[in-house]
Amino acid sequence: MGSRRDCTWILGLPGFRVQMIEGEEGRSDGRVRVRVERQGRRYPCSGCGQRTSRVRSAKERTWDDLPWAAHPVTLVYRQRRVVCRRCGVRTERIEFADAKARVTRRLRQQIGVDCQSMPTSHAAVRHGVSWGKARRAEKAVLAEWDRTRPKRQPRHIGLDEIQRGKGQRFWTVLSDVVHGEVMGLRQDRTEAAAAALLTEELTGRQRAAITAVCTDMHRPYLNAVGAVLRHAEVVFDKFHVLQHASAALDDVRRQEFFRAGAVMREHGRGKRWLLLRRWKTVRGSKRVELQTLFAANRRLFKAYVLREQLDRLWTYKTRPGVLNFVLGWIRALRWQRLPEMERLGDFLFRHIEGIAAYCDHPVRFGVVESINTTIKAVLRRARGMRDEQMLLLKLKWVTAHPIRSARDLARFLSPQGLYSNR
Ligand SMILES: [Zn+2]
């Protein structure tokens, strides 16, 4: 075995030196006990951090640490009880581990970071700890990261509902749609849930910085925004508006299918998904199929074109421009006998303010979409997750994506616990 000095260098815990190393001879993967001692004779108090040399007693403690090659490592240290001038009798502060933790901080970080890309059970086996230990480590890592990272002040936020599990279990998600991060989560989609999110998850400064809220036309959300964020404007999510348009187109299809008789039925069977797709995403032979369908039914064609035109709602720079477009769109419906599209026209007209608000607040709809996709992926993976706080932390981590370089990773795994700013 190398000198104790070499071992201290390899162990790499600032302020501590290796005293002795014990391990089973001959086994290539036996556990190694590394006995460490503090450099110097002054011990920090766990209350105030002040160092003192007045020691009351000492007790041997152990921590699991990162392995040395194939050898799992146990650190052994005699933790003192010190007499602090300010705090009285206290245990000594251990820099490499949290109070009462059974693993060192750097092992905890390693487990926690691993848990973000593999199941907890897998990470537990990999690091030779129990499932519960791994889960606690993960939660501690995520909670500390969330607590210590700088708070962002996004101009635009999103308020959206997600469905969780079967039946009518809904959750409300608050997100930062500028940076694409989840900020908060509440059960239900009521006005109270939305208002609680806006008041409890955001600081006063954060609320003051918000200029626009991207949401759907769900009335309770609009009420909550109106009550809590008086100076912010509501921008309706493009995706939701177009969903209404697709629903109207689908109604036209259904009507036509039953009305138009044999010819239409022959062309129209099994075309629902094709018809609801956007023209720009339809290719080759599928385009021909659609064209044949449209040749057989002009009303369906008209409705399809009207739906496609709605994309232009988000290309105008001024609110009067949007209004003119909607009025023109409604005018084009005259004599077409498409009641479903007329209803859609009414709907657009009634919600014109929230649609036109996009001119002044160009919310990144793509980011809203990608947050929703990410949330669904996490929920699918976390089928059995009952811990709401843990779920929120996981969502924050996945959407904030804090490890992007080797440097970020090194910061997360450093024994002192320096945190990434991302
Ligand atoms: Zn003290």
374-383 residue pLDDT tens: 888 888 777 6
Distance 8 CA to ligand 1 centre (A): 28
**Domains identified in the chain, total number:** 4
Domain match, 141 and 34 both = no
Burial tier of 46 (Cβ tally within 10 Å: 0-12, 13-18, 19+): middle
pLDDT top residue among 89 and 260: 89
Domain match, 371 and 355 both = no
Q: How confident is the model at residue 99 (pLDDT cuts 50, 70, 90)?
A: confident
pLDDT of residue 101 exceeding 50: yes
Distance CA 319, CA 326 (A): 11
Domain match, 310 and 244 both = yes
* Secondary structure (3-state) at 231: coil
Domain match, 205 and 252 both = no
What mean pLDDT comes out for the span 209-233? Answer: 91
Q: Strands 212-215 and 233-236, how do they pair? A: parallel
pLDDT of 210:
92
Burial tier of 75 (Cβ tally within 10 Å: 0-12, 13-18, 19+): buried
Domain match, 412 and 374 both = no
Distance 92 CA to ligand 1 centre (A): 9
What mean pLDDT comes out for the span 306-325? Answer: 90
pLDDT of 70:
85
Distance 48 CA to ligand 1 centre (A): 4
pLDDT of 421:
36
Domain match, 81 and 137 both = no
pLDDT top residue among 368 and 269: 368
Domain match, 209 and 253 both = no
Domain match, 255 and 328 both = yes
57-88 per-position pLDDT tens digit: 999 999 999 998 888 899 999 999 999 999 99
Distance 50 CA to ligand 1 centre (A): 6
pLDDT of 420:
34
Distance 93 CA to ligand 1 centre (A): 10
Residue with tokens 């348009």: 245
Domain match, 138 and 286 both = no
Q: How confident is the model at residue 168 (pLDDT cuts 50, 70, 90)?
A: low
Q: How confident is the model at residue 279 (pLDDT cuts 50, 70, 90)?
A: confident
CB 366 within 8 A of CB 238: no
pLDDT of 419:
40
In 3D, which of 144, 158, 320 has the Cα closest to residue 232?
158
Residue 394's CATH number: 3.30.420.10
pLDDT of residue 353 exceeding 80: yes
pLDDT top residue among 348 and 293: 348
Distance CA 392, CA 378 (A): 10
Distance 271 CA to ligand 1 centre (A): 75
Domain match, 368 and 230 both = yes
Q: Which domain holds residue 269?
A: 238-359
What mean pLDDT comes out for the span 285-292? Answer: 83
Distance 86 CA to ligand 1 centre (A): 5
* Of 72, 96, 120, the domain-final residue: 96
Contacts of 368 (CB under 8 A, 6+ apart): 158, 160, 175, 177, 214, 237, 239
How does 312-323 read in b/e, with b if 16+ C-beta sit within 10 Å? ebbebeebeebb
Distance CA 284, CA 270 (A): 18
Distance 146 CA to ligand 1 centre (A): 27
pLDDT top residue among 159 and 272: 159
Domain match, 226 and 197 both = yes
* Secondary structure (3-state) at 133: helix
Distance 143 CA to ligand 1 centre (A): 26
pLDDT of residue 417 exceeding 60: no
Distance 145 CA to ligand 1 centre (A): 26
Confirm whether pTM is higher than 0.85: no
DSSP H or E segment with residue 7:
helix 4-11
Domain match, 85 and 121 both = no
Distance 61 CA to ligand 1 centre (A): 21
Distance CA 344, CA 163 (A): 25
Average pLDDT score over the chain: 87
Q: Percent of the chain having pLDDT more than 70?
A: 93
